[in-house]
Amino acid sequence: MSVETRVVEQKGLKAVDVAVVAVLLAVGAVLRMFTPPFVGITPNFVIGMYCLAILLLRPKLAGIIGIGLVAAGVCQVTTKSLIPFLNFISEPVGAIMVGVLALIKAEFGILKYVRPFIITFIGTVASGLTYSSIMIQALTLNGKNAPAFAALIGVVLITALVNAVMVSILYFPLKAALGRSRE
């Protein structure tokens, strides 16, 4: 008699992974709602938290897009934006950017430690530039005064820096807590 071993391919995120995403997005929403503006800017911590979730869990493309769409939904509740539904475009773009960058195997030397910072910074900038570009076009086409692109870039870069620092601080302890230190 032989024992047959079958490997079942995982399709999607496990329940514990979904719980991790939910908690991180909830933390991002609370931070966004209760953090006072700094020089008129309240960073979008939800972006930082979905970047962290993607870096920790490394989901497949469908999971990445799902995280981006759920994050966009969370942003609807916490936003102070002119056109909030644009998050349904910008957050999946940012999430996909993070997912693609997370695929690059570069875990050596100092790069191992700055990688979460770099990926989060780029992912936040991708989301922010997508949102800002579409918003300016939509407002201009409707004959409304759009905010200056340079001002929006400042907001995006400050948010990207804040998110990158936050994710850099949280990534390694959470990775160890989730038992993913060897991945």
% of the chain at pLDDT higher than 90: 63
| CATH code for the domain in which residue 30 is found | 1.10.1760.20
| CB 22 within 8 Å of CB 46 | no
In a domain, 2, yes or no: no
Three-state SS at 143 = coil
In a domain, 182, yes or no: no
Q: Among the ranges 8-17, 35-44, 55-64, which has the highest mean pLDDT value?
A: 55-64
In a domain, 39, yes or no: yes
In a domain, 10, yes or no: no
For residues 131 and 87, give the distance between their C-alpha atoms in angstroms, rounded to a whole number.
7
In a domain, 8, yes or no: no
pLDDT exceeds cutoff 70 at 1: no
pLDDT digits over 107-129, tens only? 777 888 999 999 999 999 999 99
In a domain, 93, yes or no: yes
pLDDT digits over 132-165, tens only? 999 888 888 877 777 778 888 999 999 999 999 9
Structural domain including 146 reads 15-177
- Name the domain count of the chain: 1
User: Within 13 Å, how many C-alpha atoms sit on residue 160's CB side?
Assistant: 20
